[in-house]
């Protein structure tokens, strides 16, 4: 058996095309990104976000600050962008430089503009089943499962990783779609025991090829969120040999990565609609 590869590049291109049409209808939408420091991976992600936004007709502002910037200055800049009417969506690229308070910085973003969905108002509304802004990576994983007809309702789903950015929102979205969800992490006693029972496995821990074929139930859907730069090149959290056992598998690259950016663009249009009163934002 060989898994069907879930092609994120193709689905993301379709979503971007939809966003482009909606952006034209809306007239204008603006996205600001803030990158503090010079993390090489973050620089690549930011460049991709800007290229994709520009391609669909979203105006962008690319703010770069040195790693040495005082936290107060980063917060002041965010407040300036909160007040700037030309900016609909805003994100602070993570991770922030060592010593900078990620909680304080991400909480400074106006929830209506928080296209990452990391602000407590958005995280809380996701938790409560009344989502406003949904974290893009987890949303992208759900869209891929839907696109390939993977049944989530009633499925046993295992999420490996409990980060605020991916693991937790992923578990909440799967639960909202009626999966039976288990969250595994570094202190889980027997990871394979959990994954072997799962109909859906989402790996989001940043450990190259952690999930091996013996850990996967035949026919399961496996979503690989990992992007690990190793001496052997780019590796996901899932050993590609899992394709011999799984029913569905996202490739790395070309799976979840492009989806994150496409859903960020969709969130930016959603922010623009919230701000224009075209959609109700019940977050304040």
Active-site residues, by number, are: 49, 93, 116
**Per rule CB under 6 A, is residue 170 in the interface with ligand GUN?**
no
* H helices present in 27-155, as ranges: 40-55, 71-83, 102-107, 120-127, 136-147
Least separation, in Å, of the C-beta of 246 and ligand GUN? 24
Instruction: Give residue number: closest CB to ligand GUN.
Output: 94
CB-side neighbour CA atoms (13 Å) of 29: 32
Nearer to ligand GUN, 174 or 216 (CB): 174
Q: How many residues bind ligand GUN (CB under 6 A)?
A: 9
Residue ranges in 177-224 assigned as alpha helix (H): 191-195
- Interface segment toward ligand GUN; rule CB under 6 A; list 7-15, 89-97, 167-175, 197-205: 89-97
- Containing H/E element for 221? strand 221-224
Nearer to ligand GUN, 33 or 195 (CB): 33
Question: Which string of b and e fits 196-224 if b means at least 16 CB within 10 Å?
Answer: eebbbbbbbbeebbbbeeebbbeebbbbb
> Measured from the CB atom, is 169 or 251 closer to ligand GUN?
169
Decide: 249 and 202 in contact? Cβ < 8 Å: no
Q: What is the smallest separation between the CB atom of 197 and ligand GUN, expressed in angstroms?
A: 29
Distance CA 23, CA 58 (A): 7
Task: Give the 3-state secondary structure of residue 5.
Answer: strand
Nearer to ligand GUN, 98 or 189 (CB): 98
**Smallest gap, in angstroms, from Cβ of residue 93 to ligand GUN?**
5
Is position 31 an interface residue for ligand GUN (rule: CB under 6 A)? Answer: no
Is 165 a binding residue for ligand GUN by CB under 6 A? The answer is yes
Segment contacting ligand GUN by CB under 6 A, of 72-80, 85-93, 167-175, 232-240: 85-93
**Residue 237 is a binding residue for ligand GUN (CB under 6 A):** no
- Which residues from 174-193 bind ligand GUN, rule CB under 6 A? none
39: buried, middle or exposed (CB in 10 Å: 19+, 13-18, 0-12)?
A: middle
- Give the residue with the Cβ less far from ligand GUN, 137 or 250: 137
Which of 202, 207, 204 is CA-nearest to residue 249? 202
Among 74, 91, 171, 205, binds ligand GUN (CB under 6 A): 91
Nearest residue to 238 (alpha-carbon basis) of 201, 264, 278: 201
Decide if 195 contacts 160 (C-beta within 8 A): yes
Residue (110 or 199) nearer to ligand GUN, CB: 110
| 137 touching ligand GUN, by CB under 6 A | yes
- The CA distances from residue 217 to 11, 129, 186, 272, in Å, are 26, 30, 21, 42
Site for ligand GUN in 111-130 (CB under 6 A): 116
Residues forming the site for ligand GUN (CB under 6 A) = 91-94, 116, 136-137, 165, 260
């Amino acid at each position: 058996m060989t898994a069907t590869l879930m092609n994120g590049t193709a689905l993301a291109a379709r979503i971007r095309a939809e966003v482009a049409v909606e952006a034209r209808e809306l007239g204008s939408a603006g996205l600001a990104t803030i990158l503090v420091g010079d993390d090489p991976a973050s620089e690549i992600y930011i460049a991709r976000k800007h290229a994709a936004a520009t391609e669909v007709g979203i105006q962008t502002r690319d703010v770069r600050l040195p790693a040495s910037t005082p936290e107060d200055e980063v917060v002041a800049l965010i407040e300036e962008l909160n007040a700037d009417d030309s900016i609909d969506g805003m994100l602070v690229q993570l991770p922030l430089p060592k010593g900078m308070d990620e909680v304080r910085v991400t909480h400074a973003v106006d929830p209506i503009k928080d296209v990452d969905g990391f602000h407590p108002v958005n995280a809380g509304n996701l938790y409560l089943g009344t989502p406003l802004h949904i974290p893009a990576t987890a949303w992208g994983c759900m869209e891929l499962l839907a696109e390939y007809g993977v049944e989530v309702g009633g499925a046993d789903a295992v999420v490996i990783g409990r980060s605020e950015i991916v693991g937790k929102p992923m578990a909440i979205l799967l639960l909202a779609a009626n999966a039976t969800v288990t969250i595994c992490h570094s202190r889980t006693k027997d990871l394979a025991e959990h994954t072997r029972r799962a109909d859906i496995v989402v790996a989001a821990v940043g450990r190259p090829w952690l999930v091996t074929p013996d850990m996967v139930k035949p026919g399961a859907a496996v979503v690989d969120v990992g992007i690990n730069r190793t001496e052997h090149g780019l590796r996901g959290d899932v050993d590609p040999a899992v394709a011999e056992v799984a029913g569905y598998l996202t490739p790395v690259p070309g799976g979840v990565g492009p989806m994150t950016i496409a859903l960020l663009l969709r969130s930016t249009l959603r922010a623009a609609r919230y701000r224009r009163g075209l959609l109700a934002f019940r977050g304040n």
